[in-house]
Structure 1
């Protein structure tokens, strides 16, 4: 394995006149990583993808693909990269074999390597029996597989997938997600998507971008641990001040939800449920419910991008 990351993005900036679409974005991608890249519309996600794939120049900052500077040596850097845009660049009048041979040649695959590269891409993408089929006659799901095959036919170290399951039926979605997991074993994969369950299903890392800045960058297992049971839903029959709840040992912060409902925040592993229940009985607050809550990725996404809370 290389002693440098497959993708190294450092202090990336992109401005359109006075508007700054990207603000000091930095991150890395290692072999075996499947990075879920999330963000609301207009957050800078597409701009970042376009820069990483060499389709847009940054205003400042650098991108290195497997150690090669994308701005200084774009041809060499792009040879190490495979890209599936949201609308795959398919030629519907070509057969799958003809199209993949064309894409392989565009990426510098020649001679005896050509047939083997096409065969391997078809096999990895579940297109083994589809070589002589016209692309225009394939289902949407198989066309998406052809799009992924063109992205990996030259055996790149890095694969960037932009919304790869949009418009697919549930069975096709499952198949494409399994393919992405398989790609993650041998490549570094960046998955740009709006579908939060997709990130949880296939990724081991997650990033959220908002207003041009990365507001979250974390391994998914660590994030899941941090999201698990960090709040309690408390329902009381009688009026109680938030300061009274905040004084209970283990309570970090209290949200008043109305009609005797509160969300009580605490440190992971430091649940103050017993102390709250005892205090409620002692003070006669009329305890109606005290239920642990798990913070979902969707809730964290909303908090970071709409409420502006810290991760």
Structure 2
């Protein structure tokens, strides 16, 4: 399942959130989408999943236009937004049943995804009673309940403690096997653990698109490479 993005632009009023971004993601790749706050990462993800319409440019999912075939392409994609918008007064299983119904999934798929993401002990609790780590599990469960070929994960470990980060990271590694995955994160250890390739955005523009080894290059750490590349001018990069 491939993603092809060509000359993508998104403008809010007078401000460009994305400027001429082009990107190809092949089946089975795990891409780390990096960049400072306001770089355009979430905007790019929202455009891919069809939550935002770009100002110009084209996005193809498995050779189908996201704009012209919105319903069809969304069936291929599982999406976990940055703010994980859950219905806090719903019970875990009730919420996932609601999502499964929208996705036209069977009751068996609900039980399977609950077990897969480790929610079995919490399935009869209200979502608002869960820890942040378990809420992220619920968000991940809704993203994979229809067994999508593509996973788009926006800051999936944001706000978690170190133990929760490791748990969610391992879970992403497991559920992301044989899928095309794009992960936005500020945690470089996460990139090193999960990703095969880095795409770096800054001020709406693509600065780098390289393997982990190439991205780190001459620098001792991924953090050092990130800092240097995002503080250089475009001409220097």
Correspondence for 1:49: 45
**Pairs within 5 Å for 1:1-311:** 5-109=1-105, 114-224=106-216, 227=217, 230=218, 294-308=219-233, 310=236
Q: What is the deviation of 1:15?
A: 2.2
25-34 or 143-152, larger mean C-alpha shift? 25-34
Task: State which structure, 1 or 2, has the greater radius of gyration over its C-alpha atoms.
Answer: 1
Distance 1:12 1:98 in 2: 38
CA positional deviation for 1:140:
1.3
Measure the CA separation in 1 of the matches of 2:68 and 2:129. 41
Give the whole-Å Cα distance in 2 for the aligned partners of 1:42 and 1:131: 36
Deviations 1:234-272 (Å, cap 9, x if unpaired)? xxxxxxxxxxxxxxxxxxxxxxxxxxxxxxxxxxxxxxx
8 Å contact from structure 2 (residues 113, 145) kept in 1? yes
CA–CA distance in structure 2, aligned partners of residues 17 and 137 of structure 1 = 40
* 1:109-168: CA deviation from partner (whole Å, max 9, x where unpaired): 2xxxx1121122112211133322222222111111011000111111111111111111
Q: Matched residues in 2 for 1:186 and 1:89: separation?
A: 26
Partner of 1:267: none
In the alignment, structure 1 segments of 5+ residues that lack a partner are 231-293
What does the per-residue CA deviation read over 1:60-89, in whole Å, with 9 as the maximum and x for residues that have no partner? 111122232110011111111111111212
Q: Structure 1 residues 165-174 or 183-192, which shifts more?
A: 183-192
1:301 Cα deviation from its structure 2 partner: 1.3
TM-score (norm 2): 0.92
Assess if the C-alpha contact under 8 Å between 2:32 and 2:197 holds in 1. yes
Question: 2:116, 2:26 → 1: CA distance?
Answer: 21
C-alpha distance in 2, partners of 1:17/1:167?
31
Counterpart of 1:129 in 2: which secondary structure? helix
1:290 is matched with which residue?
Answer: none
Alpha-carbon RMSD: 1.8
Quote the offset at 1:25 in angstroms: 0.8
**Higher relative contact order structure (alpha carbons within 8 Å, sequence separation ≥ 6):** 2
